[in-house]
């Protein structure tokens, strides 16, 4: 009986599942996936971009072809890397490529100053861990994610939180088989956003929801950088792979920045051609 109730709860959540931002139908989302939202001829000055699955494979070093593409792009535009991971990890993964980086969804900022890459800001946010644990447990009980390995929630030094539905120490095979199409997490995404209304919520990794304090997400991070450095919204274009609802680039799309959608990071040099040709 419990299983039936749980199944019904999940089904209801699937029906209710929409984004935390302005509501979009799946058809609209599908449309935005297929065509780059880049307006040809628009006068862009800043190219902001994601790293994992946009320029490289997840957590693997930047390859030569995309490094060269970045060089060409950098001759014409200011470049900004915007990641969900820490700025130093991003810098290492890019083999010390000299590029400004916003890490941890904007909690960290690193700039290239006189040719030297420097971390100039690293914010830490306070966390009410008891309240967070209680809310996570509510979702475990309601949807049956009660079996987990290690800790039920991971609290990072920055104040970011990983709510892994299988816990912090789940075997990788089990993790990979858990939710490969993200449907389990998409089904309850809106509800998780509502429960953690002080946070930006992302469907991350293979089993988790990643939480960053509300003001830290890629859209707000880029717009803060733009305000400080004199770029207007329409002078910015974003390149990323995870723009669907719940994706860690989704706030960029919902915030209304122009973007180029990357399906395969090998396509990066081709996808930036219109930018290289633009007047």
Beta strands in 66-132 (DSSP E): 78-82, 100-103, 108-113, 116-122
Given the complex with Mg ion, which of 52 and 191 has the nearer CB atom?
52
Angle at which helix 183-195 crosses helix 2-16, to 10 degrees, equals 80
For residue 112, count other CB atoms closer than 10 A to its CB: 14
Site for Mg ion in 165-224 (CB under 5 A): none
- Please state the closest distance from residue 130 (CB atom) to Mg ion, in A: 32
The pairs formed by 168-171 with CB atoms below 8 angstroms and a separation of 24 or more are 170/207
Six-digit token string for 23: 């509501």
Given the complex with Mg ion, which of 84 and 164 has the nearer CB atom?
84
For residues 149 and 132, give the distance between their C-alpha atoms in angstroms, rounded to a whole number. 18
Given the complex with Mg ion, which of 19 and 93 has the nearer CB atom?
93
Pick from 188, 242, 179: nearest CA to 207: 179
- Please state the closest distance from residue 35 (CB atom) to Mg ion, in A: 19
At residue 146, the 3 state secondary structure works out as: coil
Kindly give, in sequence order, each residue whose CB lies less than 8 Å from that of residue 217, ignoring residues fewer than 6 positions away: 105, 106, 200, 251
269: left (phi > 0), else alpha (psi -120 to 50), else beta? alpha
Given the complex with Mg ion, which of 161 and 203 has the nearer CB atom?
203
Q: Which stretch binds Mg ion (CB under 5 A): 64-72, 139-147, 214-222, 237-245?
A: 237-245
Given the complex with Mg ion, which of 13 and 102 has the nearer CB atom?
102
**Quick check: 168 and 154 in contact, CB under 8 A?**
yes
- Please state the closest distance from residue 16 (CB atom) to Mg ion, in A: 26
Q: Radius of gyration of the chain from Cα atoms?
A: 19
- Please state the closest distance from residue 243 (CB atom) to Mg ion, in A: 9
109 contributes a contact to Mg ion by CB under 5 A: no
- Please state the closest distance from residue 58 (CB atom) to Mg ion, in A: 8
x-marked contacts with Mg ion along 239-258 as a string, rule CB under 5 A: --xx----------------
Binding residue count for Mg ion, defined by CB under 5 A: 5
x-marked contacts with Mg ion along 27-66 as a string, rule CB under 5 A: -----------------------x-xx-------------
- Please state the closest distance from residue 39 (CB atom) to Mg ion, in A: 23
Given the complex with Mg ion, which of 93 and 158 has the nearer CB atom?
93
> Which residues of the chain form contacts with Mg ion (CB under 5 A)?
50, 52-53, 241-242
């Amino acid at each position: 009986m419990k299983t039936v109730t749980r199944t019904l709860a999940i089904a209801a959540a699937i029906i209710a599942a929409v984004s935390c931002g302005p509501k979009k139908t799946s058809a609209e989302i599908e449309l935005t996936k297929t065509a780059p939202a880049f307006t040809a001829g628009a006068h862009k000055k800043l190219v902001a971009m994601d790293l994992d699955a946009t320029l490289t494979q997840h957590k693997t070093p930047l390859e030569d072809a995309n490094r060269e593409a970045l060089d060409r792009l950098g001759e014409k535009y200011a470049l900004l890397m915007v990641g969900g991971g820490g700025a130093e990890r991003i810098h290492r993964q890019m083999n010390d490529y000299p590029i400004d980086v916003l890490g941890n969804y904007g909690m960290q900022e690193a700039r290239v100053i006189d040719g030297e890459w420097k971390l100039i800001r690293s914010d830490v946010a306070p966390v009410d861990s008891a309240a967070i644990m209680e809310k996570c447990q509510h979702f475990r009980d309601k949807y049956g994610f009660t079996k987990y390995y290690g800790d039920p929630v991971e609290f990072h030094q920055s104040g970011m939180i990983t709510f892994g539905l299988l816990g912090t120490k789940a075997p990788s095979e089990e993790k990979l088989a858990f939710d490969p199409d993200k449907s389990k997490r998409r089904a309850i995404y809106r509800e998780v956003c509502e429960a953690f209304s002080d946070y930006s919520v992302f469907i991350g990794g293979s089993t988790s929801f990643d939480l960053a304090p509300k003001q830290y997400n890629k859209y707000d991070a880029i717009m803060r950088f733009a305000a400080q450095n004199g770029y207007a919204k329409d002078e910015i274009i974003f390149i990323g792979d995870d723009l669907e609802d719940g994706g860690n680039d989704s706030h960029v799309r919902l915030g209304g920045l122009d973007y180029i959608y990357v399906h395969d990071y090998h396509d990066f040099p081709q996808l930036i051609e219109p930018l290289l040709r633009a007047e």
